[in-house]
Structure 1
Amino acid sequence: MITTSTIEISQERQNEAEEQIRELHKTVDYNTIEYPIEVIVNKFIEEENGKTELFIPDYQREFAWDEIRQSKFIESILLGLPIPAIYVADNSEELLEENNLETEDLGRWEIIDGTQRIRTLARFINQELRLQGLEKLTKLEGFLFSDLPLARQRRFKRASIRIIELTEDTDEETRRNLFERINSGSVELNAMEKRRGIRRGKFLDLLDKLAKNTKFLELCSFSEAQIKYKDPQEYILRFFAFLNNYDNGYESFIKKNITDFLDEYLEETNQITSDKILEMEKEFNQMLNFVERYFPNGFYQENKTGKKPVTRIKFESLSVGIALALRENLNLKPTSNALSLLYSKEFNDYTKGDASSSKVKVLRRINYVKSMLLGE
Structure 2
Amino acid sequence: MPDETVEQLPEEPIQDQDEQDEEVAPVKYDISTYGADYTVDGLVKRLQKGDIFIPDFQRDYVWNQSEASRLIESLLLGLPIPGVFLAKESETNKLLIIDGQQRLKSLQFFYEGFFNPKDHQKTKRIFKLTKVQKHFEGLTYEKLEENDRIKLDDSIVHATIVKQEAPDNENTSIYHVFERLNNGGKKLTPQEIRTAIYYGELNDLIEELNNYKDWRDMFGPENARLKDKELILRFFAAFYRADKYSKPMVEFLNKFNKRFRNPDQPFIDSSRQFFKDSITFLKNSVGKSAFRPEGVLNVSVFEAVTVGVAKIIEEKGTTPNLENFKSAHQQLLNDPAFIKSVNSGTSDDAVFKERHLLVDKYFSQL
TM bin (shorter chain): 0.5 to 0.7
Q: Cα distance 1:236–1:315, how it changes in 2: closer, same or farther (>3 A)?
A: same
- The residue aligned with 1:336 is 323
* Aligned mates of 1:369, 1:88 — CA distance in 2: 47
Q: Cα distance 1:34–1:195, how it changes in 2: closer, same or farther (>3 A)?
A: same
State whether structure 2 residue 59 is matched by structure 1 residue 64: yes
The answer (yes or no) to whether the contact 2:32–2:162 under 8 Å persists in 1 is no
Secondary structure in 2 matching 1:194: helix
**Matched residue type, 1:238:** R
The answer (yes or no) to whether the contact 1:242–1:316 under 8 Å persists in 2 is yes
State whether structure 2 residue 242 is matched by structure 1 residue 234: no
Q: CA deviation at 1:282?
A: 1.1
Q: Which of 316, 341, 352 lines up with 2:303 in the alignment? A: 316
State whether structure 2 residue 190 is matched by structure 1 residue 191: yes
Q: CA deviation at 1:197?
A: 4.0
Secondary structure in 1 matching 2:346: coil
Q: TM-score with structure 2 length normalisation? A: 0.54
**Matched residue type, 1:259:** V
Q: Deviations over 1:74-123 (max 9, x none)?
A: 69x99x9x9974223689xxx8xx65xxxxxx9xx733412643477579
* Aligned mates of 2:308, 2:82 — CA distance in 1: 47
- The residue aligned with 2:242 is 246
Q: Which of 82, 85, 99 lines up with 1:87 in the alignment? A: 85
The answer (yes or no) to whether the contact 1:32–1:163 under 8 Å persists in 2 is yes
Q: CA deviation at 1:260?
A: 1.8
- The residue aligned with 1:209 is 205
* Aligned mates of 2:157, 2:30 — CA distance in 1: 28
Identity rate of aligned residues, in percent?
15
* Aligned mates of 1:175, 1:286 — CA distance in 2: 29
Q: Cα distance 1:149–1:207, how it changes in 2: closer, same or farther (>3 A)?
A: closer
* Aligned mates of 2:174, 2:269 — CA distance in 1: 29
- The residue aligned with 1:259 is 250
* Aligned mates of 1:32, 1:232 — CA distance in 2: 39
Question: Is there any run of 5+ residues in structure 1 with no aligned partner, and where?
Answer: 1-20, 100-105, 130-144, 303-307
* Aligned mates of 1:177, 1:331 — CA distance in 2: 41
**Matched residue type, 2:98:** D
The answer (yes or no) to whether the contact 1:33–1:162 under 8 Å persists in 2 is yes
Q: Which of 102, 115, 139 lines up with 1:117 in the alignment? A: 102
State whether structure 2 residue 363 is matched by structure 1 residue 373: yes
- The residue aligned with 1:356 is 346
Q: CA deviation at 1:361?
A: 3.5
Q: Cα distance 1:112–1:220, how it changes in 2: closer, same or farther (>3 A)?
A: same
- The residue aligned with 1:288 is 276
Which structure would you say has the larger RCO, counting Cα contacts within 8 Å and 6 or more residues apart? Answer: 2
- The residue aligned with 1:135 is none
Question: Is there any run of 5+ residues in structure 2 with no aligned partner, and where?
Answer: 1-27, 75-79, 118-127, 138-151
Q: CA deviation at 1:207?
A: 3.4
Q: Cα distance 1:52–1:316, how it changes in 2: closer, same or farther (>3 A)?
A: same
What root-mean-square deviation, in Å, do the aligned CA atoms of Structure 1 and Structure 2 show?
Answer: 5.4
Q: CA deviation at 1:322?
A: 1.3
Q: Cα distance 1:32–1:332, how it changes in 2: closer, same or farther (>3 A)?
A: closer
Q: Deviations over 1:251-278 (max 9, x none)?
A: x22xxx321222233344459x74xx62
Secondary structure in 2 matching 1:244: helix
